[in-house]
């Protein structure tokens, strides 16, 4: 049986994918990658190949729309001047009249 080149009807010679030694086909084992190897070089598939994580759900359980923006009053030359019926409560400066103040252009705030 030297060199595995003996006659065995229905069996044939093959080469191990890992070590390259000649063996009979009946001695070979199929590995998970599809190659035929001798029993000494057979290895099981890594169990971590079969690990599956649960789906990562990125959606929050509930949402709500953003509230409408609250815009503070804007101080302009009319509202910053300390003239009755033109001044705004948080903008008026005592004893100050803006040089850009023009009573004809003033519109009443809504």
Domain boundaries, the chain: 2-45, 74-110
Q: Along the 110 residues of the chain, how does pLDDT read in single tens digits?
A: 456 678 888 898 999 999 989 999 999 999 999 999 999 999 999 999 999 999 888 888 899 998 877 766 677 777 777 777 777 777 778 877 777 777 776 666 55
Angle, CA 32 vertex, CA 29 and CA 36 arms, to 5°: 35
pLDDT at 1: 46
pTM to 2 decimals? 0.44
Task: Provide the Cα torsion 5, 8, 10, 12; round to 10°.
Answer: -10
Question: Phi/psi at 57 (nearest 5 deg)?
Answer: -85, 115
């Amino acid at each position: 049986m030297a060199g595995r080149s003996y006659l065995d009807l229905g069996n044939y010679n093959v080469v191990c994918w890992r070590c390259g030694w000649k063996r009979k086909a009946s001695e070979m084992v199929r590995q998970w990658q599809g190659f035929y190897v001798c029993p000494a070089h057979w290895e099981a598939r890594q169990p971590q190949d079969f690990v599956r994580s649960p789906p990562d759900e990125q959606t929050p359980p509930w949402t709500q729309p953003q509230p409408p923006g609250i815009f503070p009053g804007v101080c302009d030359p009319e509202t910053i001047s300390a003239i009755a019926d033109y001044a705004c409560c948080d903008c008026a400066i005592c004893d100050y009249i803006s040089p850009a103040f023009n009573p004809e252009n003033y519109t009443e705030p809504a």
